[in-house]
Each structure stands twice: as structure tokens, then as C-alpha cells.
């Protein structure tokens, strides 16, 4: 398991959309699990692991992106590098 984070100039919504594209069916191939109670989070599963991505606006106007991943550590690092 790995826990990573970074900041970006993208909005939280843009960062989460990019995460779904990167890790979802058209990317890494994971399946998104919907969470209506957490608009700041996407959770994707598959291949014996998962990726959880959270994004929120911080005081300086940038966006903090936090990833917790099990079995998808290398793609998680690649995603943050692209972000």
C-alpha cells in the first residue's frame, strides 16, 4: 500500500476527472465505485487492489490531491507525475 500526495493548478473536479480517465476502463482498467456522499473522492477497484483519489482546494487557490493505492503503486506515481 502507498499513500502519496501533490498539489496542482487544476480544480478538484478536473483532477478527479483525470483520475477516472487514467485509472478507469479506458485507462488502467479499474472499475469506479460511486460514492454519492463524497464528491471530493473517487474510488476504483480491480486486479486485486484499489485506488482512492481525493482532491480539495487549499488556501492558496491550488488543489491538493491525495492518493491511497494498493497493488497499483506504480500507476499511482505515474498519475501524479502527469497531473
Instruction: Write down the domain spans for the chain.
Output: 2-82
Torsion from C-alpha of 14, 17, 19, 22, nearest 10 degrees: -120
Res 39: pLDDT: 87
Q: Is the pLDDT of residue 35 over 80?
A: no
**Three-state SS annotation for the chain:** CEEEEEEECCCHHHHHHHHHHHHCCCCCCCEEECCCCCCCEEEEEECCEEEEEEEEECCCCCEEEEEEEECCHHHHHHHHHHC
Confidence of residue 75 (pLDDT cuts 50, 70, 90): very high
Res 34: pLDDT: 77
Looking at per-residue pLDDT, the higher value among 37 and 1 belongs to 1
The pTM of the full predicted model, rounded to 2 decimals, is: 0.92
In the CATH scheme, what is the homologous superfamily, with its name and number, of domain 2-82?
Kinase associated domain 1, KA1 (3.30.310.80)
Half-sphere exposure of 77 (CA within 13 A, CB side): 5
Amino acid at each position: 500500500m502507498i499513500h502519496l500526495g501533490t498539489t496542482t493548478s487544476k480544480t478538484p473536479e478536473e483532477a478527479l476527472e483525470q483520475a477516472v480517465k487514467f485509472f478507469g476502463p479506458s485507462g488502467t482498467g479499474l472499475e469506479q465505485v460511486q460514492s454519492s456522499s463524497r464528491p471530493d473522492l473517487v474510488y476504483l477497484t480491480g486486479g486485486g487492489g484499489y485506488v482512492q483519489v481525493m482532491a480539495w482546494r487549499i488556501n492558496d487557490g491550488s488543489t491538493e490531491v491525495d492518493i491511497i493505492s494498493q497493488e497499483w503503486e506504480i500507476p499511482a506515481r505515474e498519475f501524479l507525475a502527469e497531473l
